[in-house]
Amino acid sequence: MNLSKTKKYFILTLSFSAISCHQPTEFSQKEGVIMPLEVGNTWSYRVTYFDSLGNAGQIDTFSTTIVLKAAVFNDITQANEEWFSSGMYYYMNRQTGLFRASRLPLSSYGFLVAKYPAREKDSYNAFTSDPGDSYIVTVVSTHEYTSVPEGSYSCYVYQWQGDNLKMFQYYAPNRGLIREDVHFKPLDGGNWFLLYRHELISLDLK
């Protein structure tokens, strides 16, 4: 995976029980999910890019909003399922965690993004929509306190490991993706370095 492809793929977020350290916002979501899915839910992030020496550079912002709910008959589960779209990807919560698919109708089961509930050291494979892209995902923590501009949360931390990419995603149950750190290693050699970081700056749950 090259650097430009890395940026394109991982600014998805995607990319939520532990409870926020500040007073939680009241909302009518289903309890016990890693990412609350409802049309209108919006997560806004600050993205900070770094060079190979660790110096912060460009800063951007972006938002992810659930814009569509679709009922789909899955030919693998042989059941109707509700998927929620952010415009780029489709998501749903199953009993084993958060799944993602690239398009509908579904011709596959989608892939597991964030196992939930989970235990530390749980590990699984994630296969993305890009040919040949597969990652080993490991749960490295289930109670890591993380502070971002929006607040402080107790998070599950998932490490995605590829050949030249390593990503840490911080999810707060019933809130969603709180933070994401993407590390990159040049294909021609060199050391790992933090490429960019997403941090939650505002959250609007319906």
Rounded to 5 degrees, what are φ and ψ at 7?
-60, -45
Rounded to the nearest integer, the mean pLDDT of the chain is 83
Using the predicted structure, report yes or no on whether residue 21 has a pLDDT greater than 70.
Answer: no
Domain boundaries, the chain: 3-63+119-204
List strands edge to edge, sheet with 42-50.
Answer: 56-65, 42-50, 193-204, 176-184, 165-172, 151-161, 134-148, 123-127
Of 21-35, 78-92, 131-145, the poorest mean pLDDT is in: 21-35
β-bridge pairing 56-65 and 42-50 = antiparallel
| 131 prior amide bond cis, ω within 30 | no
Whether the CB-CB separation of 158 and 140 falls below 8 Å is answered with yes
Using the predicted structure, report yes or no on whether residue 167 has a pLDDT greater than 90.
Answer: yes
Q: What is the pLDDT of residues 39-48, one digit of tens each?
A: 999 999 999 9
Cite the DSSP H helix spans in the chain.
Answer: 3-10
pLDDT, position 164:
87
pLDDT, position 71:
82
Rounded to the nearest 5 percent, the helix, strand and coil shares of the chain are 5, 50, 45
Using the predicted structure, report yes or no on whether residue 10 has a pLDDT greater than 50.
Answer: no
Structure tokens at 3: 């650097």
pLDDT, position 7:
45
Q: What is the pLDDT of residues 86-141, one digit of tens each?
A: 988 899 999 999 999 877 665 556 889 999 999 999 999 987 655 557 899 999 99
